[in-house]
Structure 1
Amino acid sequence: MTSIAADDDQLPLQTHTDGTLDGHSVGEGAAYVQMLRRRFPPRPAATSWVQTTWSREEILDLLASPTFRTSNRITQRARLLGARRLLDWLAIHPGNTWQQRWLASGQHDLSGGDWARLPSDWLAAQGDDGAANLGVLASGMRMLVCAEVIRPAAAWVITRRSSHLTAGMAQYRDPAGFAALDRLITADPAISRDNANLAKSRVAFILATKGGRISDVTVGDCVELYDTNPGAQRVKRYGRTLYYTLLHRMGVFSADAPSTLDELFCGRRRGQLSVRELVDRHNLQCAPIPDLLVDYLTERRPAIDYATLTNHAHMLAGLFWGDLERHHPGIASLHLPSEVTTAWKTRLRTGMPEAGDPATGTEKSIGRHKVARVLLAVRAFYLDIAQWALEEPARWGPWAAPCPIKAVEARAKKEQQATKARMDQRTRERLPVLPILQRTAAERWKSMAARLEAACNTPPGQTFEFGGDVFRRPLPGAAKQHAMVWAEHATTGLRRNLTLEDRDAFWAWAAIEVLSRTGIRIEELLELSHQAITSYRLPSTGELVPLLQIVPSKTDAERLLLVDPELADVLSTIICRIRKPGGTVPLVPAYDSYELTWTPPMGLLFQRNVAGQNRAFTAAGIREAIKQTLEATGLTDTAGDPLHFTPHDFRRIFVTDAIINGLPPHIAQVICGHKKIDTTMGYKATYPTEAIETHRAFIARRRAARPSEEYRTPTDNEWDSFLAQFEKRKVSVGTCGRAFNTPCIHEHACVRCSLLRPAPAQRHRLLEIRHNLEARIIEAKREGWLGEVEGLQVSLTGAKNKISQLDQTLARRATSVELGMP
């Protein structure tokens, strides 16, 4: 049994080796599939419709009509001959329609690759000399399917693998529908020809098996096809689900249909289990206790999230009562003898068999820092029942029992201190090297982007040089066209996907920048959307202050973060990356790995296009991107091993760095969204507890000593004076950044002042000042005013510095766009 971390304050979710994933067994997965089929049922398999009831002559006349006729007379003759032979063969089977005769022929029990054996054998027995010509039979079969005379099963069509079925459906069944599908594919350059052909073939399969046109396809039809094709689940190829995404974009499905097929079938993403299922997966034997646990967890369910519910069910039903049943068969009461509880606590601390698997004999300790959590959960279970028994004696009174866990046993102060010391050491190791990681991520992305651009400017079959290496653009295959840009190393012959390398490097850079500049959690990063970028206009100056909205996550509290210019550039670059050619941000659903639910489609910032489908990033994808960048840095820890960064390390570094540089801890608490300031101080890895408490006491004494009038509400005149101070900061060439109620130390010589922030629109004025100073210096040297030359030189240097600073800002903004209001 391996662990997958779910939350800082919870036990990890369990992944068992007996076929369960995130607590979902194979049987539960099958039940989930059945639930999906009930919600999105496929169209029923009919045995009678208009075309299948026609006579043999009417069908042959239809195939000879202009609708199905081809200009090649040989091909047309072969089609009619093959259809005639197949109809003759089907006519010997019982049924009132051709579909009923097809079902009675036994073709449903055969593979599509072996379909021609039965009609060929019959034709040969009738003395038909052309029976061996399988191409004629295949041509006739294709026309009968396209004309909707028969509808083969999905498994038959998939295993048939006809290379002409898609073209036949597009030409004879639904030309308008396939034309609209082609236009949708052409408008998306991320869809390669291979994936497009695969998607259209899946649509053709559905039309062949269910009939009708593309507009008649339902979600259930797509689910049935995906479930029928085992290769779609085994092979990690996103193009196999592209057909569903394209049909959804065309507006074929209803408004409540999921936007991607992943929401219906996606490995471990099975959705939430009920409380009963969470308890029953531990196979408890004593009937009253599982019912009690279900009632208890159901009572607590409204106040906790799903991840906490899952962990509590695991601790109570698995680690507590499940272990007691394995070692004390027949136990059925919460009144536990002292020797029973003592033995259980010993097993909990030293190692116990895997919960929910009585057959295993292996023992594995769950860790001392998690033992206290289990003990605390069991203690809360007993105390809650005792409290509820006073309020509802009929329901909870029979289960009230003395708590076997003392308060002192549930404390984990020593373990918490050890965890704090370990996290502080991680932060101390990673804080100094964060600039190296940021610089490497930026340089790596720029290098990958430049190489990709060089490859795009090189015709296929030609070579180009980059970074001292020579690469060759491969020639595209006759039947293949990739949306990715590939290149071969001229010396080693190694093929490299330059598009994928550029994409991975970009998102690694974006994740590192946003995490390090905001200190947000990984789940908050994944939920950032285009609408999260907002602004606030100051009432006095009218200046726009950009803000970043962080949606409620762990603490269910919304907060707004101030966006500095560097972070604004990062967000702007991300938006430019994900925008469609029309300027809109794609809407994609995201999977919440904690609540096991799908969010509605949103304009998420962290999304990428895979095989023509826009997909939200996962936490694992972000971690892998950071890992690749760390490998490029070559950084190591104190033991000499490669340095490892987690997304949460950036949060601890952010808090530590902010407080070191003077940010008050209570402001850091608000920025991080912590409920208690102790949590924020626990993230900071520099000051010892004594220094913090001494500083707090010092502040308290200073506040007590200062006159109380300093804490009064300011008057209107004082507030107007405060706002006027900021209005006085505006000067001809930009804005002055000096503090409130402080005089100008340079006597308004702004070009010399480091606090001047030049405005881009005033660059021409700075150029005029520079030219004027140069002319005055020449005049002063000519007239011999040496005392004035020195002062003019200082002003000239300041003007040049301001122009250089302004040029750097404009160069940085040239690669981004103004965010504006969403």
Structure 2
Amino acid sequence: MTSTTKHSTRRQLQTANATVEQARARNNVLRERFPPRSAEAWWPATEQSADEVLRRLTAPPFLAAANASRAGRRRGVAKLLRWLSSIPGDTWQQRWKASRAEEIPGADWTDLPLRFLHESGLSPSYERGDLTSGLLMLACGDVIRPDLAWMLTRTHKHLAPVMAEVRDPEGFAQLAQLAESGPASARGEATIAATRIAMILACKGGSISSITVGDCVELVDTLRQVHVRGGQRKVDFYLRLRALGVFPEDAPATIRAFGLAAGRLSIEELVDRYPIRCRPVRDLIVDYLRERQPSLDYTSLDAVSRTLAGLFWTRIEALSPGIDSLRLPPALARAWKADIATKKRTTIGPDGTAIEVASPRLNAKDELIRVRALYLDIAHWAAEEPARWAPWVVPCPISDDEISKAKDRKHRKARMDQRTRDRLPVLPVLTDTVDRRRRAAAELLAAAEHTRPGDLIPDTAGALRRAVAPKAAGHMTWAEETSTGRRRNLTYEETEAFWAFAAIEVLRLTGIRNEELLELTHHSVTEYRLPSTGEVVPLPQVAPSKTDSERLLLVSPELADVLSTIVRRLRGGSRAIPLVTSYDVHERVWNPPMPLLFPRDIGTEHRAFTPTALRKLLINALAATGLTDAGGELLVFSPHDFRRIFVTDAIMNGLPPHIAQVLCGHRSLDTTMGYKAIYPAETIEAHRAFIARRRASRPSEEYRTPTEEEWDAFLAHFEKRKVSIGTCGRAFSSPCVHEHACVRCSLLRPDPAQRGRLEEIRDNLVARIAEAEREGWLGEVEGLRVSLAGAEDKLAQMGRRASGGTAIDLGMPRIAAAQPTQAEGTASLTQSLDDQQ
């Protein structure tokens, strides 16, 4: 089995703007476990006669306190029953559906009964208001059950109060008690939640205790279809119902588990996201992924499926329609590799037109590695299961050289080191700015909260006044700029400033990963008592993330102060930290409720910070600093930059690298050292320290102060280097290996000014060799020839030094119009050389 390659890019989650069909396609397992109640075709109240319905809806508990409301409801019920009686059907529900009133959104549905009443000769006064009141009584009395989507197109000011009086007084009383126990600022959300719950009762029947999880999911799906906007108010009613104990214990903690975050997909669903036309290849990819599934986490499985089904085979079919084999022709393989080397995205230009922009794919080799693994794994498995895998064994179109990443790793190391060197010096500026920003935002919010709406906020030099915002959420404090009139949410600004400060401090003081920060809980901070002194030392316990291994970090005084500030903020006026259900965007699973240290309040719900929200905090915090990079652009910090800065700073200040490895949770020391940026000054200091250590290990007499005799001998050495035909280059205090036969020595540097003397020596050597051969002194001939060869070599050196060399321009090759003959080519080359000379 080949090794797993971690995919570096993550697919962004789809937002709440999805259609109902898209929402229902997510998390099918949860939806099957919690289905909505089916629409009933019959129930006792809808089959009653007109007199029975009118008698029941005009008796307690349907009687309003005000006489005018009581009379209007009575008239409305009577007129609607008269109109519905004219429509065919066995029940009032059948007649209501047959009336086609639900095809008209909003309040215009009353045109249908008004037209009938006018044609019947009845007085038109107050009839539209009477009809609305009559429909309210029919729905609350369970005579008819309108369609949910149609109900959402209308306002329902009185639906929840009337439903609380006539349908389920006890259930709505518990709901009101729950709202009273909550903060006063959430009373508006409680009213909206009660209306949503009353709407479910009007459309599904029953009481609050009979509402199912599926009913709530159906309402939220319909809300997305009818109302695109709405935010947390769309799902707040689910949290209140769950708090009342209406749902079973295994119900999800948040309704967002059904659609706002996509769950895990099966292998078939992962592959079928891409339009693969060749069914056998599609089935092969599914089998291959299923074979590798036990050794991969979900994130890696998702990445491999995207590569094989999306970037590989879907594009192969686009380049070569009808292909049905993994054997790729060389031309097709080259075209595919060139295609995935770049990625294309569409942007909107200044004139509003769509522009396609191409950029290099940084992880192109990672994609090639996954495709190569497919070919090699199939070839390996074919030896064990030939019937299953052998038909697909073909040569791999990707070579080893194409996936070599040695140079890429060096370039990446250089980029990351430079990134760390740019950000480490300005880190104090960033931390100081976010701290001052947090304190200023808190002081401004406190001053605004003690200011009456419409008055100027103290200590703002008249620049801000407390805004009058009657429709704003009760827990929000708004201010208005006196010069421009622009409104500012001071509560949001203070919250953002605090969590930016907390995130930056924890990241820089611990060096933990992004996902590890977001998974820190109150239970993560454990205590260790020193056995010698009994001192209690706090230790943050980092949950398993990338390497699936827990680790403990020592809390510094600075980090302890930050963590205590976070805990005090989360506790507020109570002693307990709220439990938060978080969604793991990598593994696509919901975690159980935990006391997370980095939650955020959205409406009445406590949610965990997401990686996207954390990046937004960093961007806004950096914008307040005004820091720029070498190109003048705004300096950007990613959460992982703080991890690299932590490692670099720790090792530079003396922390042993193997201890830094444990603190960071790295499996290899090489990974830790790869995080550490190297500075030029650091290299010089390390070399000087090495020299000092080497000196300490050698005899001390080698580093004593020289005597005058030794110094004179050292100076005399340079005077004795001068010889008749040049300069001797031997080292100090070293003997002459040639016994002063300088013409033979390779250390002699000949002087061109002594060329005549060296030529005289050469001629003398030639004459002596001739004399020795003539006289028969053969033993001297060999030595003389060695000296002659040395003299000629020194003369050649003088010649090269004197000439200095000549550069010849060879010119640029060009294609001739016709192939010249050998004679013509020789003449052309000769002429070219003559021209250059």
TM over 0.5: same fold? yes
Superposed CA offset, 1:647-699 (max 9, x none): 1111110111011011111111111111111111111002689979x99x99x
Specify which of 283, 298, 310 is matched with residue 302 of structure 2.
310
Specify which of 19, 29, 35 is matched with residue 41 of structure 1.
35
Report the alpha carbon displacement of residue 639 of structure 1 after superposing the two structures with TM. Answer: 1.3
Which amino acid in structure 2 is aligned with residue 379 of structure 1?
A: R
Distance 1:218 1:307 in 2: 33
CA contact (8 A) 1:193 1:480 kept: no
Partner of 2:58: 64
Structure 1 residues 403-418: aligned runs within 5 Å: 403-418=396-411
Distance 2:226 2:112 in 1: 29
Matched, 1:390 2:390: no
Partner of 2:368: 375
Give ranges in structure 1 of 5+ residues lacking alignment. 1-6, 355-359, 706-822
What's the TM-score, normalizing by structure 2?
A: 0.76
Partner of 1:443: 436
Structure 1 residues 83-122: aligned runs within 5 Å: 83-122=77-116
Partner of 1:463: 456
Secondary structure in structure 2 of the residue aligned to 1:321: helix
Superposed CA offset, 1:534-586 (max 9, x none): 11223343322211111111111111111122212211211222226432222
Matched, 1:156 2:156: no
Partner of 1:718: none
Partner of 2:791: none
Report the alpha carbon displacement of residue 25 of structure 1 after superposing the two structures with TM. Answer: 11
Which amino acid in structure 2 is aligned with residue 442 of structure 1?
A: D
Report the alpha carbon displacement of residue 194 of structure 1 after superposing the two structures with TM. Answer: 3.7
Distance 2:159 2:20 in 1: 35
Distance 1:690 1:298 in 2: 50
Aligned pair in 2 of structure 1 residues 88, 398: CA closer, same or farther (>3 Å)? same
Partner of 2:793: none
Structure 1 residues 565-580: aligned runs within 5 Å: 565-579=557-571
Specify which of 5, 9, 19 is matched with residue 12 of structure 1.
9
Superposed CA offset, 1:387-422 (max 9, x none): 222222222222223333222321111122111111
Distance 1:378 1:476 in 2: 58
Matched, 1:211 2:208: no
Aligned pair in 2 of structure 1 residues 176, 474: CA closer, same or farther (>3 Å)? farther
CA contact (8 A) 1:484 1:497 kept: yes
How many aligned positions are there?
Answer: 681
Distance 2:456 2:450 in 1: 10
Aligned pair in 2 of structure 1 residues 689, 487: CA closer, same or farther (>3 Å)? closer
Percent identity over paired residues: 49
Partner of 2:180: 186
Matched, 1:51 2:45: yes
Aligned pair in 2 of structure 1 residues 99, 328: CA closer, same or farther (>3 Å)? closer
Distance 2:142 2:542 in 1: 54
Matched, 1:299 2:294: no
CA contact (8 A) 1:190 1:612 kept: no
Matched, 1:128 2:125: no
Which amino acid in structure 1 is aligned with residue 115 of structure 2?
A: D
Structure 1 residues 545-584: aligned runs within 5 Å: 545-579=537-571, 581-584=573-576
Matched, 1:177 2:136: no
Aligned pair in 2 of structure 1 residues 352, 289: CA closer, same or farther (>3 Å)? farther
Distance 2:379 2:19 in 1: 34
Matched, 1:680 2:672: yes
Distance 1:404 1:545 in 2: 57
Which amino acid in structure 1 is aligned with residue 379 of structure 2?
A: A
Aligned pair in 2 of structure 1 residues 652, 690: CA closer, same or farther (>3 Å)? closer
Superposed CA offset, 1:441-481 (max 9, x none): 1111111111111112223343332243453223453x766
Report the alpha carbon displacement of residue 21 of structure 1 after superposing the two structures with TM. Answer: 8.9
Specify which of 462, 472, 475 is matched with residue 465 of structure 2.
472
Aligned pair in 2 of structure 1 residues 689, 329: CA closer, same or farther (>3 Å)? farther
Q: Alignment RMSD, CA only?
A: 3.2
Specify which of 68, 78, 87 is matched with residue 74 of structure 1.
68
CA contact (8 A) 1:630 1:643 kept: yes
Superposed CA offset, 1:67-124 (max 9, x none): 2222322321221121122122222333343223322333333324222222222222
Distance 1:197 1:259 in 2: 21
Aligned pair in 2 of structure 1 residues 131, 106: CA closer, same or farther (>3 Å)? farther
Structure 1 residues 175-574: aligned runs within 5 Å: 175-189=169-183, 191-230=185-224, 234-235=228-229, 237-266=231-260, 269-349=261-341, 364=358, 366-367=360-361, 369-475=362-468, 477=470, 482-574=474-566
Aligned pair in 2 of structure 1 residues 395, 144: CA closer, same or farther (>3 Å)? same
Report the alpha carbon displacement of residue 366 of structure 1 after superposing the two structures with TM. Answer: 4.2
CA contact (8 A) 2:149 2:226 kept: no
Superposed CA offset, 1:195-231 (max 9, x none): 3332222112111111122222111111111222246
CA contact (8 A) 1:580 1:586 kept: no
CA contact (8 A) 2:20 2:225 kept: no
Aligned pair in 2 of structure 1 residues 30, 366: CA closer, same or farther (>3 Å)? farther
Which amino acid in structure 1 is aligned with residue 216 of structure 2?
A: C
Partner of 2:744: none
Distance 1:352 1:64 in 2: 67
Partner of 2:135: 141
Aligned pair in 2 of structure 1 residues 482, 331: CA closer, same or farther (>3 Å)? same
CA contact (8 A) 1:120 1:132 kept: no
CA contact (8 A) 2:623 2:634 kept: yes
Secondary structure in structure 2 of the residue aligned to 1:463: coil
Which amino acid in structure 2 is aligned with residue 209 of structure 1?
A: C
Partner of 1:594: 586
Aligned pair in 2 of structure 1 residues 106, 546: CA closer, same or farther (>3 Å)? same
Aligned pair in 2 of structure 1 residues 105, 571: CA closer, same or farther (>3 Å)? same
Which amino acid in structure 2 is aligned with residue 661 of structure 1?
A: N
Report the alpha carbon displacement of residue 500 of structure 1 after superposing the two structures with TM. Answer: 0.8
Superposed CA offset, 1:756-796 (max 9, x none): xxxxxxxxxxxxxxxxxxxxxxxxxxxxxxxxxxxxxxxxx
CA contact (8 A) 1:47 1:97 kept: no
Matched, 1:636 2:633: no
515-524 or 200-209, larger mean C-alpha shift:
200-209
Distance 1:234 1:352 in 2: 30
Partner of 1:626: 618
Higher radius of gyration, 1 or 2: 2
CA contact (8 A) 1:43 1:218 kept: yes
Aligned pair in 2 of structure 1 residues 690, 163: CA closer, same or farther (>3 Å)? closer
CA contact (8 A) 2:20 2:221 kept: no
Report the alpha carbon displacement of residue 334 of structure 1 after superposing the two structures with TM. Answer: 2.9
CA contact (8 A) 1:348 1:365 kept: no
Report the alpha carbon displacement of residue 259 of structure 1 after superposing the two structures with TM. Answer: 1.8
Aligned pair in 2 of structure 1 residues 645, 351: CA closer, same or farther (>3 Å)? closer
Which amino acid in structure 2 is aligned with residue 62 of structure 1?
A: R
Secondary structure in structure 2 of the residue aligned to 1:545: strand
Aligned pair in 2 of structure 1 residues 394, 82: CA closer, same or farther (>3 Å)? same
CA contact (8 A) 1:226 1:232 kept: no
Distance 2:226 2:668 in 1: 48
Distance 1:243 1:364 in 2: 46
Secondary structure in structure 2 of the residue aligned to 1:159: coil
Secondary structure in structure 2 of the residue aligned to 1:234: coil
